[in-house]
A and B are shown apart, each in its own frame.
Chain A
Amino acid sequence: MSGRAFVFGDNIDTDVLAPGYLMKLPADELARHCLAAVDPAFASTVQPGDFVVAGANFGLGSSREQAAVSLKTLGVAAVIATGFARIFYRNALNLGLPALFCDAAGSIEAGDRLEVDPVAGQIINHTRNQTLAARPIPAHLMDMVRAGGLVAQLKARGMAA
């Protein structure tokens, strides 16, 4: 997967990813407000295949899965951060949205062209000619990520009645 980087700082919380007062809206309408409190232009400029890059503790706060759903709805291909809040991390992988821990995420700047292999844990920054290592997704979750998320995995495991 390859696309542009949209860069944010530390502690991006779920209230800015999916504002509570808009949570009644259908997913595609809610997604238009994703990150608006910190970057009003984000939702209208991000393109399918682009990446969200951030610092520490991305997705802290509420368990609301709409935070990850909104990014996926906008076509974000993966989130790369130096750290993730636990529930967001689980939510993203459950939805088939790769969330990659990358200690060097701070070297990526807005607009950089990235090529990302979430399975190998490799990020190539074509703009800066750098290759960054992401922490591999834990092995017990890799099947789920490959399947495209938890619902797809449950289906494959014959959980359907």
Chain B
Amino acid sequence: MLPDCAKWYKDRPFDQRGRHRPLVGLNRDCFDTVTAPQTLAQKLLSRAAGGASVMPGDIVTVEVDLIMAHDSSGPRRWKPQLEQLGARIKDPSRIVIVSDHYVPAVDAESAAILKLTRDFAHENGIARFHDMQGICHAILPEKGYLRPGIFVAGGDSHTPHAGAFGCYAAGFGATDMLGIVVTGQTWTIVPQTIRVEIDGTLGDGVAAKDIMLVLCRELGMDNAFKAIEFGGSCVRAMSMAERMVLANMTAELGGETGLIEPDATTVAHIRAHGGDPGADPLGWTADPGAPYERVVRLDAGTLEPHVAAPHSPANSAPVSAHLGTKVDQAYIGACVGAKLEDLQMAARVLAGRKVATGTRLLVAPSSSATTAQAAADGTLAVLMEAGATLLPSGCGACAGMGAGLLADGETCISSTNRNFKGRMGHAGASVYLGSPYTVAAAAVAGRIEDPRPLLQPLRRAA
């Protein structure tokens, strides 16, 4: 250790557990002798905290690289607080604002929220404002805004979605986000990491969503302040769309962030979307022997399609446990379950078939670009011919705000990520969660079915 370190330590306060508090901007030379294996979360937070080596339990102040907000929790909440403080946004170039919750306006109140958001973005010089182009978590990768290694703070609980790209991405509430836009920084407690090692090959008709429904049951939803690292041959073989499902539903596990080590698939996706993967994207890996709280192993090859019964994602079981449950509505939507690949999964079940009488199928693609791609490759035509109703791109019924809400006593099966009581409408409604395959199978049968016998080859337009 260099002599300067002693002074650094002397000038720093202790935290409650007797540890020194690493702060932004400290002399990284003090710490380059540390060679203990590290989790990916440690490495990412070390960078965000200015280079200090960090240990689980340390409280760190981090510089936020990318600040993401939406119409529900962003400008609408910040504006009065900024006025109260007399403060300004520190760096508009770090901010992305997406209007996705109240889109499109259905009454004067939602119109006012969207107008406020629009005006705020304009008045504050926020160039990266996306108005009714899709769900915030879909927009970040679609626009090439994500780069492995960065710290992403989002005003939405599903912000861990971006962890699929090796970003440290965490969700925050509105006042935390206000602090971040004013100071550019926030604090966090360096998390313990659970490593989820997924090997084997998913069977046809089984998806990343099924993995997450199993993990919600097995790991529980009470992993607050923890990081989840996903690895193994199954994850390495996954497309980015499927990796995003793993990272996204880290929110359901209660985790602070969900991380996947970047690889050639990650870099190719970033480049294809006009992004910059950074100088050393493949350097963001966990060390062998990293100090995991626990390592959980899953064999993808033995996994069956799963559904989560009301009113919790952790209440999951193989689809065979719920066969025959009648559904009034099948919903394909949300950040987690309405990407192009999700619509293609549904199309493999729906091709040449019709939605059952007495059941409605609603499809809200995660972005308008997704809708355009699905139109171009023929997927959309398959869904429409089956009798699906196309809804606007946005959080929609998943957030309890848009079209597709449920009445008392109704049952819905949904490709979304949460089925809490009352979330999609009346508190007396029942919501089952499943993969897009399983949702499409239920739409065709009018009741919960195993999608695997219904699968057909993916047909693409010439």
* B190 is an interface residue with CB less than 8 A from chain A: no
Q: Using Cβ atoms and an 8 Å threshold, which residues of chain A touch B173?
A: 63-65, 68, 87-88, 90-91, 94
* Chain A positions 19 through 51: 1 when the CB is less than 8 Å from some CB of chain B, otherwise 0: 111011000000000001110000000000000
A115-161: which residues lie under 8 A (CB-CB) from chain B?
136, 138-140, 149-151, 154-155, 159-161
B201-251: which residues lie under 8 A (CB-CB) from chain A?
221-222, 224-225
Contact B73 A65 (CB under 8 A): yes
The answer to whether residues A20 and B59 also contact, given A65-B73, A160-B85, A160-B87 and a CB cut-off of 8 A, is: no
* A3 is an interface residue with CB less than 8 A from chain B: no
Say what secondary structure dominates the interface of chain B: loop
Alpha-carbon distance A150/B172, docked complex (angstroms): 13
**Quick one: which of A20, A56, A88, A161 contacts B87, CB cutoff 8 A?**
A161
**Quick one: which of A16, A94, A161 contacts B176, CB cutoff 8 A?**
A94
Alpha-carbon distance A68/B172, docked complex (angstroms): 13
Alpha-carbon distance A71/B298, docked complex (angstroms): 40
Closest residue of chain B to A40, judged by CB?
B427
Contact A138 B77 (CB under 8 A): no
The answer to whether residues A63 and B171 also contact, given A21-B401, A56-B222, A154-B179 and a CB cut-off of 8 A, is: yes
Contact B400 A155 (CB under 8 A): no
A69-84: which residues lie under 8 A (CB-CB) from chain B?
83-84
* A2 is an interface residue with CB less than 8 A from chain B: no
The answer to whether residues A16 and B175 also contact, given A85-B224, A136-B16, A161-B87 and a CB cut-off of 8 A, is: no
* B45 is an interface residue with CB less than 8 A from chain A: no
* B117 is an interface residue with CB less than 8 A from chain A: no
Alpha-carbon distance A100/B438, docked complex (angstroms): 41
Contact B176 A90 (CB under 8 A): yes
* B123 is an interface residue with CB less than 8 A from chain A: no
Contact A15 B421 (CB under 8 A): yes
Alpha-carbon distance A61/B171, docked complex (angstroms): 11
Contact A154 B401 (CB under 8 A): no
* B29 is an interface residue with CB less than 8 A from chain A: no
B interface, size bucket: 35 or more
The answer to whether residues A151 and B175 also contact, given A19-B400, A21-B400 and a CB cut-off of 8 A, is: yes
B163-195: which residues lie under 8 A (CB-CB) from chain A?
171-176, 178-179, 182-183, 187, 189
Closest residue of chain B to A57, judged by CB?
B222
Alpha-carbon distance A63/B171, docked complex (angstroms): 7
* B359 is an interface residue with CB less than 8 A from chain A: no
Contact B176 A150 (CB under 8 A): yes
**Quick one: which of A20, A24, A64, A89 contacts B109, CB cutoff 8 A?**
A24
Q: Using Cβ atoms and an 8 Å threshold, which residues of chain A touch B107?
A: 24
Contact B405 A21 (CB under 8 A): yes
Q: Using Cβ atoms and an 8 Å threshold, which residues of chain A touch B16?
A: 136, 138-140
Contact B187 A140 (CB under 8 A): yes
**Quick one: which of B113, B156, B256 contacts A24, CB cutoff 8 A?**
B113
Alpha-carbon distance A119/B441, docked complex (angstroms): 54
Residue total for A at the interface (Cβ-Cβ under 8 A): 44
Report the minimal beta-carbon distance from A159 to chain B, rounded to whole angstroms.
Answer: 5
Contact A154 B176 (CB under 8 A): no
Report the minimal beta-carbon distance from A139 to chain B, rounded to whole angstroms.
Answer: 4
Q: Using Cβ atoms and an 8 Å threshold, which residues of chain B touch A87?
A: 157, 171-173
Contact A63 B157 (CB under 8 A): yes
Q: Using Cβ atoms and an 8 Å threshold, which residues of chain A touch B189?
A: 138
Q: Using Cβ atoms and an 8 Å threshold, which residues of chain B touch A61?
A: 157, 418, 420
* B133 is an interface residue with CB less than 8 A from chain A: no
Contact B85 A154 (CB under 8 A): yes
Contact B85 A151 (CB under 8 A): yes
* B134 is an interface residue with CB less than 8 A from chain A: no
Closest residue of chain B to A64, judged by CB?
B73
Closest residue of chain B to A157, judged by CB?
B183
The answer to whether residues A13 and B182 also contact, given A85-B254, A89-B224, A136-B16 and a CB cut-off of 8 A, is: no
Q: Using Cβ atoms and an 8 Å threshold, which residues of chain A touch B172?
A: 63, 87, 90
Alpha-carbon distance A144/B59, docked complex (angstroms): 15
Q: Using Cβ atoms and an 8 Å threshold, which residues of chain A touch B254?
A: 57, 60, 85-86
Closest residue of chain A to B154, judged by CB?
A63
Report the minimal beta-carbon distance from B88 to chain A, rounded to whole angstroms.
Answer: 6
Alpha-carbon distance A63/B72, docked complex (angstroms): 10
Alpha-carbon distance A85/B420, docked complex (angstroms): 15
* A7 is an interface residue with CB less than 8 A from chain B: no
The answer to whether residues A83 and B176 also contact, given A15-B422, A20-B401, A63-B156 and a CB cut-off of 8 A, is: no
Closest residue of chain A to B90, judged by CB?
A159
* Chain B positions 140 through 174: 1 when the CB is less than 8 Å from some CB of chain A, otherwise 0: 00000000000000011101000000000001111
Counting chain A CB atoms within 10 Å of each CB, the highest count among B102, B171, B418, B423 belongs to: B423
Closest 9 CB pairs of A and B: A20-B400, A91-B173, A65-B173, A94-B175, A139-B16, A160-B86, A37-B427, A15-B420, A57-B222
Contacts A15-B418, A21-B400 supplied; 13 other A-B pairs, CB < 8 Å: A15-B421, A24-B102, A24-B110, A37-B421, A64-B72, A83-B222, A84-B224, A85-B224, A86-B256, A90-B176, A138-B16, A138-B59, A159-B87
Question: Which of A's residues lie within 8 Å of B, judged by CB?
Answer: 11, 13, 15-16, 19-21, 23-24, 36-38, 56-57, 60-65, 68, 83-91, 94-95, 136, 138-140, 149-151, 154-155, 159-161
Question: Which of B's residues lie within 8 Å of A, judged by CB?
Answer: 15-16, 21, 59, 72-73, 77, 81, 84-88, 102, 107, 109-110, 113, 155-157, 159, 171-176, 178-179, 182-183, 187, 189, 221-222, 224-225, 254, 256, 312, 399-401, 405, 418, 420-423, 425, 427
Sample of 6 A–B contacts (CB below 8 Å): A20-B423, A21-B405, A36-B427, A63-B174, A151-B175, A159-B85
